[in-house]
């Protein structure tokens, strides 16, 4: 403070500082009050205006909850018992079907047919009783029921046939699946020799004959017309295929094999089944077909007919006949 006769120096910024200090003091006081309010516990609520329910009401609610819980448990136990019974019945049903050798559907269909048949018998008895009593209205109603029941029975009978057919088809398919596969036979190698390819599939005697007479086979593997005609002629003469007489008759027409014609002996690869035999000298007055001397041969009418049927000249036919007769491959023609 200055005296009255002294000058007073006023700081213009002092007022602002004082205001700031006052504000800070107020803020601190408000903070202290807020902290004190937070530290103070909340007030205890007083009793409400509603009255508490009596004990009897709470007891009834508890009993209702217990009853509801017991009912839920009873339903769960009943459902479990029913499901277990249905499962046991299904197992017994399946075992019965297996014992009788049919499917479950077939057994169910059979039971359905039995039930429909029993109903039909009962309706027939009721219809007869109604007709005897003269109750034609009831008899007509029963007749309509019997017609509908008859249609259901016909459908059940049809399903029985279909199910039986399905069972048989499944049995056949199962057998095919379990049947072991047959091992494949190795394919035979194609022979490289054209002659062997041509005689494939023929009998062994025919193969041996064609190996001795390859000139009877064309280049494409087919038989020449000469062989076919000789075969037909042998059959007409009564010879059996693949017999020595059959092949000897054919050779009497087509001539001997190439190797035999050159050497006068059978081929070593294909020996004769019978050894050649020498014919005894024929005396004068011998049987037909014999020769009076070494330069003549007597042909009987039967021999001439055979030569004509074979289309061979008599002299050629006689020479082949004499050769085959000496070799023992044919019997004398009488």
Query: Quick one: CA torsion of 244, 249, 255, 259, rounded to 10 degrees?
Result: 0
pLDDT at site 271: 36
Q: 3-class SS at 223?
A: strand
pLDDT at site 209: 87
Contact between residue 332 and residue 324 where contact means Cβ atoms under 8 Å apart = no
pLDDT at site 316: 86
pLDDT at site 292: 42
pLDDT at site 268: 39
- Give the Å distances, CA to CA, from 246 to 193, 249, 253, 261, 269: 26, 5, 11, 19, 20
- Give the Å distances, CA to CA, from 203 to 37, 48, 208, 257, 324: 128, 124, 9, 19, 24
Q: Which residues contact 73 (CB under 8 A, 6 or more apart)?
A: none
| CB neighbours of residue 328 within 10 Å | 17
Contact between residue 239 and residue 233 where contact means Cβ atoms under 8 Å apart = no
pLDDT at site 257: 66
pLDDT tens digits, 277-315: 333 333 333 444 554 445 678 888 888 888 888 888 888
Q: Which two tokens stand for residue 60?
A: 């009834």
- Give the Å distances, CA to CA, from 258 to 193, 254, 311: 19, 11, 21
pLDDT tens digits, 2-37: 555 555 555 555 555 555 565 666 666 666 666 655
Domain boundaries, the chain: 63-178, 203-327
The answer to whether the predicted template modeling score (pTM) of the entire model surpasses 0.75 is no
pLDDT at site 266: 46
pLDDT at site 76: 94
Q: Which residues of the chain have pLDDT under 70?
A: 1-53, 179-191, 257-295, 334
């Amino acid at each position: 403070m200055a005296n009255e006769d002294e000058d007073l120096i006023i700081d213009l910024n002092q007022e602002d500082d004082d205001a700031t200090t006052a504000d800070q003091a107020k803020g601190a006081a408000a903070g202290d009050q807020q902290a004190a309010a937070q530290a103070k516990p909340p007030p205890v609520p007083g009793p409400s205006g509603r009255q508490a329910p009596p004990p009897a009401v709470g007891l009834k609610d508890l009993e209702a909850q217990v009853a509801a819980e017991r009912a839920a448990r009873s339903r769960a136990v009943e459902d479990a018992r029913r499901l277990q019974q249905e499962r046991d019945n299904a197992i017994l049903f399946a075992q019965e079907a297996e014992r009788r050798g049919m499917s479950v559907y077939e057994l169910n269909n059979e039971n359905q047919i039995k039930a429909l048949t029993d109903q039909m018998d009962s309706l027939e008895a009721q219809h007869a009783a109604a007709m005897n009593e003269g109750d034609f209205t009831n008899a007509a109603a029963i007749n309509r029921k019997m017609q509908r029941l008859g249609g259901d029975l016909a459908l059940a009978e049809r399903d029985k046939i279909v199910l039986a057919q399905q069972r048989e088809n499944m049995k056949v398919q199962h057998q095919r699946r379990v049947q072991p596969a047959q091992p494949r036979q190795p394919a035979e190698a194609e022979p490289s020799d054209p002659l062997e390819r041509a005689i494939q599939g023929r009998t062994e005697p025919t193969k041996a004959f064609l190996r001795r007479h390859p000139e009877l086979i064309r280049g494409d593997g087919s038989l020449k017309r000469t062989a076919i005609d000789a075969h037909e002629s042998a059959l007409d003469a009564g010879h059996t295929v693949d017999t020595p007489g059959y092949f000897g008759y054919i050779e009497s027409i087509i001539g001997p094999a190439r190797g035999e014609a050159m050497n006068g002996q059978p081929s070593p690869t294909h020996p004769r089944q019978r050894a050649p035999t020498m014919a005894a000298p024929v005396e004068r007055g011998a049987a037909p077909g014999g020769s009076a001397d070494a330069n003549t041969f007597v042909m009987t009418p039967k021999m001439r007919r055979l030569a004509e049927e074979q289309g061979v000249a008599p002299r050629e036919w006689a020479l082949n006949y004499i050769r085959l007769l000496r070799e023992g491959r044919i019997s004398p023609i009488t």
